[in-house]
Amino acid sequence: MIREIISRLKQGHRTMPYPAEPLQMPERFRGYPVPSSLARSAEQHGTSAECPYGAFSAEEGGCLDMGKCLFCAECPAGGIEFTTDYRLAATQRDHLLIKPGASRQFAQALSADLQRIVGRSLKFREVSAGGCNACEADTNVLSTIGWDLGRFGIQFVASPRHADGLWITGPVTENMAQALLTTYTAIPDPKIVVACGACAIHGGPYIDSPQVKNGAAGLVPVDLFIPGCPPHPATILDGLLRIIDKIR
């Protein structure tokens, strides 16, 4: 036992220093778009720059909807540039709309009443509502030793009765809609809802399919939108820490 304790002390701190220190993302990571590039694309391509998923529109000088965007960098607009900024989450749906000259909006902290309840212990029940498992996989990464989501008091639980909030992935298929509503009802009030990924926000690549509901917002009120296909673990964690007022 003494040897194990000595070995553990020598190993030191395994968890990454974030959020005390910013994360360094890879150069090829596609994060927050450069607003000026939206205007250039709109001017150069006009209506021919329309995205097949409705993420980019040439109207109003160019607008990118991060809630619909797959960050594929293969859109008809072509000239849209992305930074490596992973801070993408928002607490209002319209804050995911990026336009040239518009002020940037980050996710905001929950109300003071909710903060008193979930500020130190936030439990989620996850519902995979027809997704491809990519968002689920990147969410699961947060439970590994490098990220250690539990050090912030955030955990996923097996029963909605033990949860403070609902975590939704997938476009919400017809087969999963009732299960989602049943789980939402089973979570005690007050509760919060997180839509994780482009599918859960607005349908993702399955948008307007007759078999999906185009995301969760049409069925339940959403408190945090985390864009991406799938969202990077850093994007997910940043949004969560902002709503519980751990970072600003």
Please report whether residue 215 resides in a domain: yes
Determine, yes or no, domain membership for 154.
yes
Q: C-alpha 75: how far from its chain's center?
A: 21
The answer to whether position 164 is within a domain reads yes
Least Cα distance to 109 among 247, 244, 246 occurs for: 244
Closest to 186 in 3D by CA, of 198, 195, 194, 178: 178
Considering the domain boundaries, does residue 34 fall inside one? Answer: no
Contacts 24+ apart (CB under 8 A), 16-24: 16/146, 16/147, 18/234, 18/237, 19/237, 19/238, 19/241, 19/246, 19/247, 23/86, 23/234
Domain tally for the chain? 1
Q: What residues form DSSP beta bridges with 90? A: 225
| SS3 label, residue 144 | coil
Strands 56-57, 97-98: pairing kind? unpaired
- Residue 121 sits in which domain range? 112-243
Q: Domain for residue 82, yes or no?
A: no
Is 118 within a domain?
yes
Q: 55, 38 in Cβ contact below 8 A? A: no
Amino acid at site 226:
I
CA 142 – CA 238 distance, rounded (Å): 11
Strands 154-156 and 122-128: parallel
Predicted pLDDT at 74 = 77
Q: Residue 105 falls within a domain, yes or no?
A: no
- The answer to whether position 103 is within a domain reads no
Q: Residue 137: which H helix or E strand, with range?
A: helix 134-140
Whole-prediction pTM value? Answer: 0.91
Burial state string for 8-27 with b = 16 or more CB within 10 A and e = fewer than 16:
eeeeeeeeeebeeeebebee
Domain of 204: which CATH number? 3.40.50.12280
Which pLDDT belongs to residue 62? 82
Identify the pLDDT of residue 232.
Answer: 96
Q: What is the pLDDT of residue 161?
A: 95
Per-residue pLDDT of the chain (248 residues; tens, 9 = 90+): 788 788 877 777 678 888 888 889 999 999 999 988 888 887 776 665 678 888 888 877 788 999 999 998 777 666 788 999 999 999 999 999 999 888 899 999 999 888 888 878 999 999 999 989 999 999 999 999 889 999 999 999 999 999 999 999 999 999 999 999 999 999 999 999 999 999 999 999 999 999 999 999 999 999 999 999 999 999 999 999 999 988 87
Instruction: Give the residue among 85, 91, 98, 88 at the shortest CA–CA distance from 26.
Output: 85
Structural contact between residues 71 and 229, judged by C-beta atoms closer than 8 angstroms: yes
